[in-house]
């Protein structure tokens, strides 16, 4: 009877050791497959199609003129220097750079292109605006 118990304990010990070895081997296999999937995910992200202005225009529900009027209400005596329809933080917006006489830099005003609501306003110094323009030019150059 003791021999049967001793044999059962020996088998259990062998199975546990083999199981532990298999676990470490499977962890290595999982790690390798995870690294491979991360690599393929990175490739996939680069392949995402860039939205064109035509695509954005189709999605916009309000006209550019209505969005411009909303933006100009936020900056009295302002003049629109530039405008852009873009997706920012997942929202489709019209973005306006508005200059104000006697004030340096621009006021950037964002208007929701779907419902026409005012999204936000931020003052950009001339230095900040120049840096942003350089970044946009760099982005456009790499996407072409």
Give the residue numbers spanning the domain of 17: 1-48
The rounded radius of gyration (Å) of the Cα atoms in the chain is 30
Q: Is the pLDDT of residue 43 over 80?
A: no
User: Does residue 63 share a domain with residue 26?
Assistant: no
Cα separation, 40 vs 37, in Å, equals 5
**Does residue 24 sit in the same domain as residue 83?**
no
pTM of structure: 0.59
Distance of alpha carbon 111 from alpha carbon 116, whole angstroms: 6
- CA 133 to chain centroid: 19
Q: Is 107 found in the same domain as 41?
A: no
Give yes or no: residues 100 and 117 share one domain.
yes
Same domain, 127 and 60: yes
pLDDT tens, position by position, 67-85: 999 999 999 999 999 999 9
Structure confidence at residue 18 as a pLDDT band (50, 70, 90): low
Give the residue from 71, 74, 73, 91 showing the smallest Cα distance to 83: 71
State whether 72 and 136 are in the same domain: yes
Whether residues 38 and 71 share a domain: the answer is no
Q: Are residues 42 and 98 in the same domain?
A: no
Residues 66, 103 within the same domain: yes
Is the same domain home to 44 and 75?
no
* CATH code, 70: 3.10.450.40
Residue 114: φ, ψ to 5° = -95, -45
Q: How many domains does the chain have?
A: 2
Q: What is the pLDDT of residues 97-110, one digit of tens each?
A: 999 999 889 999 99
52 three-state secondary structure: coil
| 127 plus 58 within the same structural domain | yes
24: exposed, middle or buried (Cβ count in 10 Å: 0-12, 13-18, 19+): exposed
Do 106 and 86 sit in the same domain of this protein? Answer: yes
């Amino acid at each position: 009877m003791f021999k049967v118990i001793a044999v059962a304990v020996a088998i259990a010990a062998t199975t546990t050791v083999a199981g532990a070895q298999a676990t470490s081997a499977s962890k290595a296999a999982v790690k390798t497959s995870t690294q491979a999937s991360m690599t393929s995910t990175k490739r996939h992200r680069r392949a995402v199609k860039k939205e064109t202005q035509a695509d954005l225009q189709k999605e916009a529900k309000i006209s550019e003129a209505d969005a411009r009027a909303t933006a100009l209400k936020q900056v009295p005596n302002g003049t629109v220097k530039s405008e852009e329809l873009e997706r920012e933080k997942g929202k489709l917006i019209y973005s306006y750079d508005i200059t104000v006489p006697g004030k340096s830099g621009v006021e950037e005003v964002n208007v929701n292109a779907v419902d026409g609501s005012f999204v936000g306003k931020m003052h950009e110094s001339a230095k900040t605006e120049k840096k942003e323009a350089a970044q946009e030019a760099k982005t456009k150059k790499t996407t072409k």
